[in-house]
């Protein structure tokens, strides 16, 4: 009975850890090394319970739960080597290098936005703390986004008005395949009027005595 109870506890523990393994994800602000530490803790516990994985399975699992923003890097790793030829140390080192470059780009972009925001407001960051600078940067980005939307909205309205002219039709005859300035009968009437006027002789203002 004691042996059966031990097996049940073991099986329950394996099921719990497998669920954690299957649902494992990297947190938003978690580093690659922090993620790998948590992941290794789960896999080591499973290994102690005689549930182990191949290196290829672990590599594929890590690549699957990386954020969508890492898709380009994941694709590059998958195309560079066969999955069974990549070690965990190589994979984590590769991901850490990418993480450093990514964070560096984000920092450069943040500093650029901050400089633009301070320049637009005519302020100097020497008299501002980090929270004030972050607030100014957020406000600047919101204003920039609103300006972009206004420009886009104006272009859309102009295009919509042009389309309306083309589809509202001719108010003179009611047909939809032209507007009034292209009214075909009107063109014919104008041509006929010009022809009739051309054939008439000019009238004199007074009669001539003989």
Separation between Cα atoms, residue 70 and residue 28, nearest integer Å: 12
* Assigned domain for 138 exists: no
DSSP 11-58: HHHHHHHHHHHHT----TT--HHHHHHHHHHHHHHHHHTT----HHHH
What are the CA-CA distances from residue 75 to residues 63, 81, 82, 106 (Å)? 9, 10, 12, 21
pLDDT above 90 as % of the chain: 39
| Residue 21 belongs to a domain | yes
31-59: per-residue pLDDT in tens?
999 999 999 999 999 999 999 999 999 99
Domain membership of residue 170 (yes or no) is: no
The domain of 78 spans: 2-122
Determine, yes or no, domain membership for 46. Answer: yes
Indicate the pLDDT class of residue 81, thresholds 50, 70 and 90: confident
Kindly state whether residue 91 falls inside one of the protein's structural domains.
yes
Assess if residue 130 is contained within a domain. no
Q: Note the pTM of the prediction, 2 decimals.
A: 0.52
Residue 140 lies in a domain: no
Instruction: List, for residues 96-143, the tens digit of each pLDDT value.
Output: 999 999 888 878 777 776 666 666 665 555 555 666 666 666 666 666
The H or E element that residue 172 is part of is: none
> Would you state the pLDDT for residue 209?
45
Whether residue 174 has pLDDT greater than 70: no
Domains contained in the chain, number: 1
What is the C-alpha separation between 181 and 172, in angstroms, rounded? Answer: 10
| 110, part of any domain | yes
């Amino acid at each position: 009975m004691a042996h059966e109870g031990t097996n049940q506890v073991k099986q329950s523990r394996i099921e719990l850890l497998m669920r954690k393994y299957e649902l494992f994800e990297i947190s938003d602000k978690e580093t690659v090394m922090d993620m790998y530490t948590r992941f290794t803790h789960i896999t080591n516990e499973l290994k102690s319970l005689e549930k182990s994985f191949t290196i290829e399975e672990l590599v594929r699992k890590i690549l699957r739960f990386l954020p969508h923003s890492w898709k380009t890097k994941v694709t590059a790793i998958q195309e560079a080597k066969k999955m069974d030829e990549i070690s965990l140390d190589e994979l984590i080192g590769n991901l850490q290098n990418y993480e450093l470059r990514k964070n560096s780009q984000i920092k450069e972009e943040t500093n650029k936005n901050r400089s633009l925001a301070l320049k637009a407001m005519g302020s100097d960051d020497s008299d501002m703390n980090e929270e004030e600078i972050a607030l100014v940067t957020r406000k600047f980005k919101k204003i920039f986004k609103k300006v972009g939307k206004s420009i886009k909205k104006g272009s859309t309205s102009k295009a919509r008005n042009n389309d309306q002219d083309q589809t509202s039709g001719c108010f003179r005859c009611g047909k939809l395949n032209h507007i009034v300035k292209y009214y075909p009968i009107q063109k014919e009437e104008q041509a006929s009027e010009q022809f009739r006027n051309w054939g008439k002789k000019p009238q004199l203002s007074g009669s001539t005595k003989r």
